[in-house]
Amino acid sequence: MAYIQAGEFRKGITFEMDGKVMVITEFLHVKPGKGAAFVRTKIRDVINGGLLDKTFNPTEKFELAHIERKSLEYLYTDGELFYFMDPESYEQTALNEESVSEALMFVKENMKVDIEFFKGKPFSVMPPNFVELLITFCEPGIKGNTSQGVTKPATLETGYILQVPLFVNEGDTIRVDTRNGSYMSRV
């Protein structure tokens, strides 16, 4: 088993603490003028998503957590569970809404997503960074309103609502950045 000291913490490192798997979202190595150095962090529980501000002694040791990532295809939902399939083995994985709710704002059936596993148990779904989705509802742009940067709300085929430029219309397919949920371009 591999271990890491708090003094070696970097963003994105996953480790086990108090029986939970944590990922470092922010860190700062602090060396005050008086007293011992310490590491100030923001860590997130990868299973339940809880955030925690914690300060560590740089010599504290933690066991590294191995997170496995697989590319699976989203199949369908039965209302309670969401089903994903491994395209190589045809093995299906079912996840509850809590695990997939944020990702499904950008995912439609038959789309490939990355699913993270810890000790064989899936806990997180990550859509591709960029997706192309159809606008199912959007008010028409108002003629003459051409001032810079004016936007209007648009509803995508997944139900997600985002701001788009006035020239984008209902029925258009657009490219969306899933990392921040923003409009990129028309397709």
Q: Is the pTM of this model over 0.85?
A: no
State residue 92's pLDDT score.
Answer: 93
Whether the pLDDT of residue 15 is over 90: the answer is yes
Please answer whether residues 84 and 74 qualify as being in contact, where contact means their C-beta atoms are separated by less than 8 angstroms: yes
CA atoms within 13 A on the CB side of 43: 21
Mean pLDDT of all residues in 168-177: 94
Closest CA to 164 of 147, 180, 149, 148: 149
pLDDT level of residue 23 (50, 70, 90 thresholds): confident
- Which CATH architecture fits 130-186? Beta Barrel (2.40)
Best CATH choice for the domain 68-126 from the list 3.40.50.720, 3.40.50.800, 3.40.50.620, 2.40.50.140: 2.40.50.140
Which pair of tokens denotes residue 147? Answer: 């001032």
CA atoms within 13 A on the CB side of 22: 25
Q: Which residues are registered as beta bridge partners of 41?
A: 27, 54
Q: Which residues are registered as beta bridge partners of 139?
A: none
**68-126 matches 3-64 in CATH topology:** no
143 secondary structure, DSSP code: T
State residue 183's pLDDT score.
Answer: 94
Q: Which residues are registered as beta bridge partners of 118?
A: 67, 121
State residue 122's pLDDT score.
Answer: 85
State residue 63's pLDDT score.
Answer: 93
pLDDT level of residue 145 (50, 70, 90 thresholds): low
N-to-C CA span, the chain:
48
- CA gap 159, 97 in Å, rounded: 15
- CA gap 150, 155 in Å, rounded: 17
- CA gap 2, 18 in Å, rounded: 16
Helix or strand or coil: residue 146? coil
Domain ranges of the chain: 3-64, 68-126, 130-186
Closest CA to 20 of 49, 45, 56: 45
Best CATH choice for the domain 3-64 from the list 3.30.1130.10, 1.10.275.10, 3.40.50.720, 2.30.30.30: 2.30.30.30
Please answer whether residues 27 and 88 qualify as being in contact, where contact means their C-beta atoms are separated by less than 8 angstroms: no
